[in-house]
Amino acid sequence: MKLILEPISKEIILKNYNNFFGTMIKAVVDIENEIVAIDAELHADLEALL
């Protein structure tokens, strides 16, 4: 799991954060704080990280 705090390219996301599923990367977004949690097996894990 990783928190993304700054803009990041699609290529970096696909290369570095595709560890659980071959065709899908799960992410949860905190709109108010402009933070994205990415790369976990469950969305609930990402939500807890935020």
Whole-model pTM?
0.82
Q: Are 50 and 30 in contact (CB under 8 A)?
A: yes
The reported pLDDT for the residue numbered 22 is 83
pLDDT by residue, tens only, the chain of 50 residues = 999 999 999 999 999 998 888 889 999 999 999 999 999 999 999 999 99
Task: Give the number of other CB atoms < 10 A from CB of residue 40.
Answer: 21
Number of structural domains found in the chain: 1
| Domain encompassing residue 38 | 2-49
